[in-house]
Amino acid sequence: MKKIIIFLFLTIFLSANEIKEIDLSKVKWEYRFGDSPFENNLPLWTIEKDNQNSWKEIKFPSNPPNRNNQTNVWFRVKLPDNLPTNPHLYIVSIDLITQVYYENKQIYHFGEFDKEGKGEYIGWPWHLIPLYVDSAGKYLYFRIYSNYEDIGLWGEIIIASKSDILEKMLNYDIPKIIVGSISLFVSILFLLTFLSKFKRIELLILGLLFLTQGLNVFCSAKIIELYLYFPLLNQYLLAIAFFFFPVGMALFMDKVINQKTPFDIIKRIWQFHLIYLLVAIIGSLLGIFTLPSTYECFDIVYNFVTLPILTIFMIYFFFKGDKETKIITFSFFIISLYWLYSSLIAAGFVPWEEYPSDIAVFICLLLLSYSIVNKLNYTKELEEAKEELMILSSTDYLTKLKNRKEIDSTLQMYESFYKRYKDDFSIILLDLDDFKKVNDKFGHLVGDKVLIKISEILTTFTRQTDTVGRWGGEEFIIICPKTNLDDTAKLAENLREKISQHKFEKVGYKTASFGVSSFKENDTITDFILRADNAMYLAKSKGKNRVEKES
């Protein structure tokens, strides 16, 4: 029992005193410009003892003073005397390529150095460097080359066990992966909606914004690099997302917010940044300049020209615009503050930290989506109202059949078809027999119900290609395309039979008289209808409830 108690006590004591994480940015760092000479592939600066005064102290291993266009620098740091279990060194980023030495042994490299100590840019990944178990209290050396404005390490520099580092990374990156995935999914929905109609340009812009910013958030999730390690491709995707944001922001403001600006400055901004994006990506791919150098120019233009101008107009539009405009400008204002904050971090004015870029981007895009959905709903209501008005203007209010105006248009259309293609078409005119007696005896409401039921019978027992309309009063017309006189007469006979066999509520049985005619060469619509009308009255004169063809 005593042994168990002692074991538990020691376990608790040791775990409480175990070092979990060391912030290496807080210890003493030193730097030395230039590149070390090598002997037998060993850098002499890691083993020489005579030139210790050549090393100068620096608060953080980045951008030493008085650089004077130097592209090579060495940093060194003495590791603490106590290290965590399974120690690994985690560095957020290094500008641009590096070799890491423990004493005089190379333990890590990113990029390849040539004989002159230079190398090509291959991305900005994070770095996880395993340390020797016996490296406590010893020096680590960093050989670095950079032709970028920054040279050295950037961001967090910690020593912890590999599992702790990955767990910490995962905790930061899970929200990014979720937000990035949702943004990419929403971008697909917006883009597919745009492609289905090619009408709403704001859907295209919003889809591209969601796509690029979703890629920005998703690709910035460091844990992704464990499974998809393509640092240069990743950096190009991030660059496209980075450079596209002012394009999308200004383009959205230009196309969606209907406010005039002096010299069309909002339009000029998105045009300039779109050209810059294309030149930056294509030029760096062709090797005309390096991708990092494009960030330097972009930061100057965006932070000192584009962002101030857009912010001024955002504030102006916010106070002058409608509800949707206020939402749009407010969302851009949020993301602009985030971009300003990230720029201050990059410039070193604000201490580095993991900040919730995913949340800022997601809130901005959600607000933009809300404004667009509102606008689309309003537009949809207008379109539905317009469609309803068009239906009302072409439909008989009582029977819901085509009205006289729509029937005239349909007859003219089939007349054109006949003259061009010689397509037969015919009409049926029918008039309810003794319908006046129904209104006189039962009233107009009952008469209306009869007319409605007649329209239902006609639409039920005609073809989908036939057009059924109310010609006036108790008269109806049916246009039958690609149908000759005899076939149309058979259809009329079938309709006559269906009407005569139907028992109407209160009224009982009713009949109708039918006249049929077919369009002829050199015919006019007036002559065509007149022949059908004469045939219908012939049917009435012969006793009603019958079908007569034109003579």
| CATH number of the domain bearing residue 473 | 3.30.70.270
Catalytic residues: 474
Residue where one domain finishes, among candidates 123, 139, 165 = 165
Inform me whether the pLDDT recorded for 458 exceeds 90: yes
Tell whether 378 and 448 lie within a shared domain.
no
pLDDT band at 122 (very low <50, low <70, confident <90, very high): very high
Tell whether 47 and 122 lie within a shared domain.
yes
Residue where one domain finishes, among candidates 353, 383, 413 = 383
Tell whether 411 and 540 lie within a shared domain.
yes
pLDDT given for residue 16 in this prediction: 43
> Would you say residue 193 lies in a domain?
no
> Higher-confidence residue: 384 or 491?
491
> Would you say residue 190 lies in a domain?
no
pLDDT band at 374 (very low <50, low <70, confident <90, very high): low
Place of tokens 């036939």: 466
pLDDT given for residue 264 in this prediction: 87
Inform me whether the pLDDT recorded for 10 exceeds 70: no
pLDDT given for residue 198 in this prediction: 57
* Closest listed residue to residue 243, CA positions, set 169, 170, 298: 298
Q: Kindly tell me the sign of the dihedral angle through the C-alpha atoms of 293, 241, 109, 130.
A: positive
Inform me whether the pLDDT recorded for 121 exceeds 90: yes
> Would you say residue 262 lies in a domain?
yes
Inform me whether the pLDDT recorded for 99 exceeds 50: yes
Amino acid identity at 224: I
Tell whether 231 and 365 lie within a shared domain.
yes
pLDDT given for residue 364 in this prediction: 72
The mean-pLDDT minimum among 53-67, 342-356, 379-393, 523-537 falls in: 379-393
Tell whether 412 and 352 lie within a shared domain.
no
Domain around 282:
224-383
pLDDT given for residue 5 in this prediction: 47
> Would you say residue 158 lies in a domain?
yes
Ranges of beta strands (E only) in 449-538 are 467-472, 475-481, 503-504, 508-509, 512-518
Tell whether 26 and 145 lie within a shared domain.
yes
The pair of structure tokens assigned to 394 is 């072409």
The CA-based dihedral angle spanning residues 509, 513, 519, 520, taken in that order and rounded to the nearest 10 degrees? 150
Tell whether 355 and 411 lie within a shared domain.
no
Per-residue model confidence as pLDDT tens digits over 183-235: 888 888 878 878 876 567 877 888 888 888 888 888 888 888 888 889 999 99
d(CA 427, CA 288): 75
Q: At what angle do helices 485-501 and 444-460 cross, to 10 degrees?
A: 130
pLDDT band at 400 (very low <50, low <70, confident <90, very high): confident
> Would you say residue 128 lies in a domain?
yes
pLDDT given for residue 358 in this prediction: 64
> Would you say residue 281 lies in a domain?
yes
> Higher-confidence residue: 335 or 435?
435
Q: What is the pTM of this model?
A: 0.65
Tell whether 459 and 363 lie within a shared domain.
no
> Would you say residue 268 lies in a domain?
yes
The strand pairing partners of 427, in sequence order, are 479, 517
Per-residue model confidence as pLDDT tens digits over 342-373: 777 666 676 666 655 666 666 776 777 776 66
DSSP for residue 44: G
pLDDT given for residue 373 in this prediction: 66
> Higher-confidence residue: 259 or 1?
259
**DSSP helix/strand/coil, 521:** coil
Place of tokens 């509102």: 374
Amino acid identity at 455: S
Inform me whether the pLDDT recorded for 382 exceeds 60: no
3-state secondary structure 118-165: CCCCCCCCCEEEECCHHHCCCEEEEEEECCCCCCEEEEEEEEEEHHHH
Q: Kindly tell me the sign of the dihedral angle through the C-alpha atoms of 105, 139, 351, 221.
A: positive
Tell whether 372 and 444 lie within a shared domain.
no
pLDDT given for residue 356 in this prediction: 59
Per-residue model confidence as pLDDT tens digits over 137-181: 999 999 999 999 899 998 899 999 999 999 988 888 888 888 888
The domain total for the chain is 3
DSSP for residue 18: S
Residue where one domain finishes, among candidates 320, 349, 383 = 383
Inform me whether the pLDDT recorded for 14 exceeds 50: no
CB of 512 closer than 8 Å to CB of 405: no
* Closest listed residue to residue 92, CA positions, set 62, 137, 125: 125
Per-residue model confidence as pLDDT tens digits over 401-411: 988 888 888 89
Tell whether 429 and 508 lie within a shared domain.
yes
d(CA 181, CA 188): 11
> Would you say residue 208 lies in a domain?
no
pLDDT given for residue 197 in this prediction: 66
Long-range CB contacts (within 8 A, 24+) of 232-239: 232/121, 232/122, 232/123, 234/123, 234/125, 235/123, 235/124, 235/291, 236/281, 236/285, 236/291, 239/280, 239/281, 239/291, 239/294, 239/295
